[in-house]
A and B are shown apart, each in its own frame.
Chain A
């Protein structure tokens, strides 16, 4: 049926991956390993393998240094915007690093898992991004350096249909440079 083939051909175009995305994918694989919640290390499932990522080799002050040695993301409980104790440690490290390298502008991306409706999750992601920004500001990061953006549930990093993935998708990611307002 011609009406079908034209659209799917269109849709098969590959997304160009930008460096920011690749950096966050690498960081995810580490977060999966280090998790205290017993999450499966599903980096390989996700096709995001940790090949070649070695924190010791990262140039200090580089975005690789930030994502690998500091940790670029924090995770949230279901439907929650509260910054957990483990997340506070990550954000404290982020604030110290950002104080050391004051030239970076930062975008905090808020994300939700897929167990909610689309519109609500856009707003929930915004709440998480704002809570994260507020925490960083409280730790001395100038507000003028920070922007936020919500992607709702539209950009999951873990793709399985159970809690091991949903808990990785409920996140706020601190991106050096990046999008947002």
Chain B
């Protein structure tokens, strides 16, 4: 397999604060209010000798716009033309076009071939610089630098971590519905840089990132033995997880990356097990004559949410990570499945089936506060952005030949399709790459 995978630590230089002395800024964007009015922001083309400057600032603008929290202003409206990105801009010119924030920058090719990308974020209302940073990278990584800059701006203005410098692993689906070919693929969160990481006619499903985003755990039907695998992204090395007598499926890592939690099917029942990746010991967590599956750890690793039909229909349960204290938390109409604990710990996202429709929703870990974000013919399989603010899932519309990926804000607003080359399902969001 080609080493198409994650290149670690390409960021050669650290980041430097550029004369940043932000007295307190006036910009405020309270993103916990529900439907937010996006913040008008002017993102100028980064100065450069070639197209790379504009390419980077375009990616920054696209990231911020897609978040739904920012409204980049059309550059045709700009009054001041930035000729020196380090000089204090004419704030009045930017206030006139209603830009509350301004981004300037430049990209310089260093003698050693690396790019130096630097930017400044200005508060046009307070008339001061909010931040300034620079990064060094290889030219082919320009999109990552742009995502890192977008994350820095997002965090500075919203007060929450960004999620743009991330990837998504998913199942790429092609061919007719009754002879579907499935491969695992990875892409940047904005749909760029798609590459497949498996290529066989075996069915592959439910890929999930390890916490250090270097490994994927997934299920494959290789050799007609449906089992859970581990895949090292850097080397392409694969191994079966555990030596179980039946089908293993629905894997996920523990937050410390030391264990894989999954379901084992025996005689038609499915129960939840863990395997310690160092000691190779396996531990049984549930023991029911039912289907217990889709386990997902809380971010502190102390609890696990999962689905079970032990009560007659699929419902969401929570237990301690040693299997004790299993209790049902979903109590609404319909059935609930694929629970996933938020990286913030405060919510569990799920798929809900009711009235012939499939919804994506969230509830608190005690089952209270259920909120449906989106309902359609078929929505399934939520995954959280690492900041716990955005949920990605897959949707198949009635009459369409295959599913597509969508994202939606936790508020239920800003639903968007993620562009993928072919049909796509089972997305799993990576942590921030850093």
B-contacting residues of A (Cβ < 8 Å)?
A: 3-8, 10-17, 46, 81, 114-120, 122-124, 126-127, 129-131, 149-151, 154-159, 161, 178-181
Residues of A within 8 A of B294 (CB): 117, 119-120
Cα–Cα, bound, A157→B314 (Å): 25
Residue in B178, B182, B201, B226 whose CB lies within 8 Å of A16: B201
* B398 interface residue (CB < 8 Å to A): yes
Contact indicator B195/A81 (Cβ below 8 Å)? no
Contact indicator B199/A10 (Cβ below 8 Å)? yes
Contact indicator A117/B338 (Cβ below 8 Å)? yes
Cα–Cα, bound, A53→B130 (Å): 75
A-contacting residues of B (Cβ < 8 Å)?
A: 172-183, 185, 187, 192-196, 199, 201, 203, 205-206, 221, 224-226, 245-247, 249-250, 263, 265, 267-270, 291, 293-294, 307, 309, 314, 337-338, 351, 353, 377-378, 380-381, 396, 398-399, 401, 419, 421-422, 425-426
Contact indicator A11/B172 (Cβ below 8 Å)? yes
| Nearest CB in chain B: distance from A97 CB, A | 23
Q: What would be 10 A-B contacts, judged by CB atoms less than 8 Å apart?
A: A3-B193, A3-B421, A8-B174, A14-B175, A118-B206, A119-B206, A119-B294, A122-B247, A123-B270, A161-B377
Residues of B within 8 A of A3 (CB): 187, 192-195, 421
Cα–Cα, bound, A131→B268 (Å): 8
Residues of A within 8 A of B194 (CB): 3-4, 6-7
Residues of A within 8 A of B353 (CB): 115-117
Cα–Cα, bound, A180→B246 (Å): 10
Q: What are the 10 A-B residue pairs with the smallest beta carbon separation, nearest first? A: A179-B224, A11-B174, A130-B268, A127-B268, A123-B291, A159-B177, A123-B270, A4-B421, A119-B250, A117-B337
Cα–Cα, bound, A116→B293 (Å): 13
Closest chain A residue to B205, Cβ basis: A118
Residue in A117, A126, A180 whose CB lies within 8 Å of B268: A126
Contact indicator A10/B196 (Cβ below 8 Å)? yes
Contact indicator B293/A161 (Cβ below 8 Å)? no
Contact indicator B422/A126 (Cβ below 8 Å)? no
| Nearest CB in chain B: distance from A116 CB, A | 7
Residues of A within 8 A of B245 (CB): 181
Most B CB within 10 A of own CB, among A10, A16, A118, A129: A118
| Nearest CB in chain B: distance from A77 CB, A | 15
Residues of B within 8 A of A10 (CB): 183, 196, 199
Count of chain A to chain B residue pairs whose CB atoms are closer than 8 Å in the complex: 140
Contact indicator B338/A126 (Cβ below 8 Å)? no
Residues of B within 8 A of A81 (CB): 268
| Nearest CB in chain B: distance from A153 CB, A | 10
Contact indicator A11/B246 (Cβ below 8 Å)? no
Residues of A within 8 A of B183 (CB): 10-11
Cα–Cα, bound, A81→B270 (Å): 14
Contact indicator A117/B381 (Cβ below 8 Å)? yes
Closest chain A residue to B394, Cβ basis: A118
| Nearest CB in chain A: distance from B307 CB, A | 7
Contact indicator A15/B398 (Cβ below 8 Å)? no
Closest chain B residue to A155, Cβ basis: B178
| Nearest CB in chain B: distance from A158 CB, A | 8
| Nearest CB in chain A: distance from B309 CB, A | 8
Residues of B within 8 A of A124 (CB): 291
Residues of A within 8 A of B267 (CB): 130
Residues of A within 8 A of B419 (CB): 4
Given A11-B183, A114-B378, A150-B226, A123–B193 Cβ distance below 8 Å?
no
Other than A118-B205, A119-B338, give 20 A-B pairs with Cβ distance below 8 A: A4-B421, A8-B174, A8-B421, A11-B173, A11-B174, A17-B179, A115-B378, A117-B314, A117-B351, A118-B380, A118-B381, A120-B293, A122-B265, A123-B263, A126-B247, A127-B291, A130-B268, A149-B224, A155-B203, A161-B377
| Nearest CB in chain A: distance from B327 CB, A | 20
Cα–Cα, bound, A7→B268 (Å): 37
Contact indicator A120/B380 (Cβ below 8 Å)? no
Given A119-B337, A119-B338, A154–B421 Cβ distance below 8 Å?
no
Cα–Cα, bound, A115→B194 (Å): 29
| Nearest CB in chain B: distance from A108 CB, A | 11
Cα–Cα, bound, A146→B377 (Å): 37
| Nearest CB in chain A: distance from B252 CB, A | 11
Contact indicator B175/A154 (Cβ below 8 Å)? no
Cα–Cα, bound, A114→B180 (Å): 14
Residues of B within 8 A of A179 (CB): 224
| Nearest CB in chain A: distance from B227 CB, A | 10
Residues of B within 8 A of A158 (CB): 178
Cα–Cα, bound, A27→B250 (Å): 32
Residues of A within 8 A of B179 (CB): 15, 17
Cα–Cα, bound, A181→B248 (Å): 12
| Nearest CB in chain A: distance from B348 CB, A | 15
Contact indicator A123/B293 (Cβ below 8 Å)? yes
Residues of B within 8 A of A129 (CB): 268
Most B CB within 10 A of own CB, among A81, A116, A123: A123
Contact indicator A122/B249 (Cβ below 8 Å)? yes
Cα–Cα, bound, A80→B182 (Å): 27
Cα–Cα, bound, A129→B247 (Å): 12
Cα–Cα, bound, A46→B308 (Å): 35
| Nearest CB in chain A: distance from B339 CB, A | 11
Residues of A within 8 A of B293 (CB): 119-120, 122-123
Closest chain B residue to A126, Cβ basis: B265
Given A13-B181, A118-B206, A7–B195 Cβ distance below 8 Å?
yes
Residues of A within 8 A of B426 (CB): 118
Cα–Cα, bound, A7→B401 (Å): 18
Contact indicator B174/A12 (Cβ below 8 Å)? yes
